[in-house]
Every structure is written in structure tokens, then in C-alpha cells.
Amino acid sequence: MKQERILLCKPKMCDREIDFIRAALADDWATPLGPDCDAFEHEFEEFVGQGKKGATLSAGTAAVHLALIACGVGSGDEVLVQSFTFCASSHPVTYLGAIPVFVDSEKETWNMDPELLEEAIKDRIAKTGRKPKAIIPVAFYGMPYQIDRIMEIANRCEIPVIEDAAEGFGSRFNGQILGSFGKYGVLSFNGNKIITISGGGALICEDAEAKKQIMWYATQARESYPYYQHEAVGYNYRMSNIWQVSAADR
């Protein structure tokens, strides 16, 4: 008996994507960023609400990486990560020489268990003398985590939350878009996501200043001089304008 393959999310394409791509190429916008990315960010911010700002990036993994940097995570630090997740939630922690500490899931949502999260924080403080540098809950299969309880614990312990809502674009908790509760919210537009551009991702930022810092890192940390000046290590994490136009008809 042949088994049916159940896809996470199957892309739906139509002729308009080709028209948008042709228009972008005709206008010579075959580069990272561009007017289509700007328009997408504007609509994205309106959809998310809460006064949040959106930074379009090359991947959801890149978004996790830059959010960790913005939260000050460095070598030897510990980051609490959901155990039931894809590796993209934890690999960026190791990019920085930090240590992922995995927290088990609850059976109701399959996501990070708030009770175990609080236990993990107390355990790490007792064993290392330091509290974890960040918390990364994951919206596995788009299912919302108990973000109200997670945020209460995180705020009380003064630990920033990076929501990995890569699979949960459009999911809501008490009417609010997932990814807009924590300090940063991660989204993905990979081929198996709700909206796809073949690749790419975005980071929901608290405000314009936070977005500016993220995009500075995503643009090789280039300083504002009429020549190449770099005073920090940056990354080439900008979204392609051609990628973006393929999502225009969703």
C-alpha cells in the first residue's frame, strides 16, 4: 500500500509571479533589497501591527542568528531552546560559540513547557552562577506556544525572548500575531512555509532603531562612509528583491 506524503505546506504558484519577476528584472532590481522588498516590509508591518518593524533577510536561520547577536549572546553564554524543533533554531547559537540548553515540550502544544522553562532557568543559575542569555520558543507546525506564561517568566527573570515563529506566520495568541510578543520574532519564507519565495526570512523588531541595527549587521556591518569601512563583523543576510516579488500574489 502506497503511503500518502503529507506536506507541511504546498506552494501555490500562478502566472502573476512570472510577471512580477520580469518587471523587477526590466527595472534592473536583480539585487539584494529594492522597492519590492520595501513594499513587502511595509505590508508586513501593517499585518503584524503593535508598532513592530520588519527586516527582510536571506533566511529564517539568519534571522535567529542576528537576533541572538542583538541580544548580546556570545561565546560561553547559554541559550534556552525548545527541544522539539528543527536544528535551525539551535545552530545559530553554536555559530556564536554559545551553548544551547534544551527545554522539553508540553503535550498540549508540543512546544516549550513553561514549567520546565522556569526550572531550567533556576537550574542554570544554580550550576553556573549566570542566567541564560536568551529564550527561543518555537511555534512547531505553526501551533502557538503559551507565550503569556513564557513572557511572564522571561520578564520576571529579565531574559529576552526570541520567538521562532518560522512555521507560524499568521498564527495568533489571544488575537495577537505570533512573533510580536518577544524582543524579536523570526519568520521563514522557505518553500514549505505559508508564504514562500523559495527561500528568505524576516525578523520582527521592537522598533525602527532595532531594525536599523539588524539591517546594519545584515549588510556586512558597513559604516556610512563613501568608501568601505567596517568596524565590526557583519554578514551578507539581505533578501533578494527577485525572491520577494514571487510572493507578491499571496
Asked if residue 231 has pLDDT above 70, the reply is yes
Residue type at position 50: Q
49 Cβ contact list (under 8 Å, min separation 6)? 176, 177, 180
Domains defined for the chain, CATH in brackets: 32-245 (3.40.640.10)
The model's pLDDT over 4-58, given as tens digits with 9 standing for 90+, comes to 887 777 766 677 777 776 776 666 666 666 677 777 788 888 888 888 998 989 8
Query: Which residue is listed with cell 533554531?
Result: 89
> Mind giving me the DSSP string for 177-216?
ETTSSSSEEEEE--TTSSS-SSSBEEEEESSHHHHHHHHH
On average, the pLDDT of the chain sits at 86
pTM of the model: 0.85
Q: Say if residues 124 and 132 touch (Cβ distance below 8 Å).
A: yes
The model's pLDDT over 184-219, given as tens digits with 9 standing for 90+, comes to 999 988 656 677 666 788 899 999 999 999 999 998
> Mind giving me the DSSP string for 41-90?
HHHHHHHH-TT-EEEEESBHHHHHHHHHHHTT--TT-EEEEESSS-GGGT
Please state, in angstroms and rounded to a whole number, the distance separating the CA atoms of residues 243 and 30: 9
